[in-house]
A and B are shown apart, each in its own frame.
Chain A
Amino acid sequence: MDFQATIDADGRIEPRDAMPDGYRKTLIRQIAQHAHSEIIGMQPEGNWISRAPSLRRKAILMAKVQDEAGHGLYLYAAAETLGVDRADLLDMLHSGRQKYSSIFNYPTLTWADIGAIGWLVDGAAIVNQVPLCRCSYGPYARAMVRVCKEESFHQRQGFEILYTLCNGTPGQKAMAQDALNRWWWPSLMMFGPPDTASTHSEQSMAWGIKRHSNDELRQRFVDMTVPQADVLGLRVPDDGLVHQDGRYRFTEPDYTELYDVVKGNGPCNQQRLSHRVKAHEDGAWVREAAAAYAAKKEARAA
């Protein structure tokens, strides 16, 4: 079956199948950006491993950040099926030629931010990613099935952190509200620009890479999240929020902030990227040593 017929029949494109150049490029860009987001996302949460306030929370957080490294690994592997190299993709990240999710350019200031990231950021990621499990490109769709299973565990643990804080001391509850106040708007921005301004959406929908529009997904996230805030006893920081006909009408985030952060002007853009580059550069001698050792072993075996 040729490419378009497979897409029309809602089938899967596999690495050896013929595909238009634009389809390949779009997927590489999207999967790489997704992989980069996983590994940059390790930083804001990793920031709290050493200070997690109980050993149980410390263990859960370590496991979560480790899961993200694992997600990065299999997303890079999925991208490699399209004929690119992980090392080249990392270079693109390090030199700013490829992006990662803007949400990770915000700082984690208190322990409650770890709860808010799990609940809101992983919650938004799930809404974005569940449809990708049906993406037309087979390796990406299969990677997403695995990622989504773990993300839903992450989202629950984030909610549980906040639930505990909201039922704790007044200081803990205030910490939770402050985290929601700071993370609400950036979380809404995770769905990208409004449909009227989205540059990649139409073609991606036609190719079966994207299944729902940014605004549809954003609405789905708000409808799912607001009742959860009620359970926590927290106030969503939106004066325009109204429940109407089973849906929530909400205020749109300030998209100029999103565009600014994407361009590099967010509170942690410099910090995240330079931490990543430093880890990579500090590790160069280790990777070179591993390669040299493997070559020596091979030469000895020959």
Chain B
Amino acid sequence: MNDLFAYTLRLGDDALISAQRTAEWIAAAPQLEEDVALGNIGLDQLGQARSLLQYAGSFDGRTEDDLAYFRDERDFLNVQLCELPNGDFAFAMARLLYFATYQHLLYDELRSSADETLAGVAGKAVKEVAYHVDHATQWVLRLGDGTEESHRRMQAGLDALWPYTAELFESDSLVQRLPAAVDPSTLSAAWTDRVLGVIDESTCERPSSSYQHTGGRLGRHTEHMGYLLAELQHVARSHPGATW
């Protein structure tokens, strides 16, 4: 696999699978304003996914839809954090805080990538993701420092997802040898700083974990991923060769 293709796919799959989960909130959010906000965030994530998958596909003549609808689970390279089923709203905001903070640091660095296309995608995405971070931060503060119940739920969300965060910063030979890539391990310290800052202010306890999940970048996913893809892909696969 071409290095640039594989790297672009990692970023694109993170965005695509996140968009799929975020969109599940539409028409189910706690208030109408949140249906609109989560719709915005999901659309941003989907837009990033499309730009990245179009670019990845340009290396071997595939379209964004070939990559989204006709790859099997083991060929998806997203981190497991993105694919976990939606829990309650606190879980959603914990995930968005962890993921968007990572994406923000990543896209900010990627703006000066040697690869012009990736730099261009990152330049647009970094502004979108800054809003996602802000939205998640505001909710983590409100829920953490709101009522007893919201505090308990916020803590549970932060704790449940913590074991899926180390995977975001894994380094491997691909990111080390590809000049266009950002080695995510270089983002880890700043991420921890920012995220723990929000958690402290929210009056929640800092999460910790003796175990960290891994495998997404190698196409090894959770049991939930197959169902997510089955839903995403089934109409397209039921009509091979059709255009929509």
A: residues with CB less than 8 A from B are: 39, 42-43, 46, 49-59, 62-63, 65-66, 69-70, 72-73, 76, 111, 161, 164-165, 168-169, 171-172, 275, 278-279, 282-290, 292-293, 296
Contact = CB atoms under 8 A, between A and B. Distances in A.
Given A53-B236, A53-B244, A69 B39 contact: yes
Given A164-B244, A287-B30, 6 more contacts: A50-B24, A56-B244, A63-B43, A161-B244, A168-B242, A288-B147
Contacts of A43: 27
A54 B76 CA distance: 17
A53 B239 CA distance: 9
Interface of B: 16, 20, 23-24, 26-36, 39-40, 42-43, 46-47, 49-50, 53, 64-65, 68-69, 88-89, 141-143, 145-147, 149-150, 153, 231-232, 234-236, 239, 241-244
Given A53-B235, A53-B236, A66 B43 contact: yes
Which of A70, A278, A289 gathers the greatest number of chain B CB atoms within 10 Å?
Answer: A289
Secondary structure dominating the interface of A? helix
Given A289-B147, A289-B149, A54 B236 contact: yes
A111 B235 contact: yes
Nearest to B39: A66
A73 B23 contact: no
Ordered nearest first, which 3 A-B pairs have the shortest CB separation? Answer: A283-B30, A289-B146, A66-B39
Contacts, number: 144
B239 A42 contact: no
Contacts of A58: 23, 46
A62 B43 contact: yes
Contact of A169 (B31, B64, B68, B239): B239
Nearest to A285: B149
Given A54-B65, A111-B235, A172-B239, A283 B31 contact: yes
A65 B46 CA distance: 15
A195 B150 CA distance: 52
Contact of B143 (A66, A169, A171, A286): A286
A125 to B, nearest CB: 18
A287 B49 CA distance: 31
Nearest to A40: B27
Contact of A46 (B27, B36, B150): B27
B27 A290 contact: no
B32 A72 contact: yes
Nearest to A286: B30
A55 to B, nearest CB: 5
A189 B136 CA distance: 43
Nearest to B38: A66
Contacts of B142: 289-290, 293
A268 to B, nearest CB: 13
Contacts of B232: 50-51
B243 to A, nearest CB: 6
A55 B242 contact: no
B2 to A, nearest CB: 22
Given A55-B50, A169-B242, A282 B88 contact: yes
Nearest to A50: B231
Nearest to A64: B39
Contact of B243 (A168, A282, A293): A168
B242 A293 contact: no
Nearest to A284: B30
A46 B26 contact: yes
A43 B42 CA distance: 17
Contacts of B42: 62
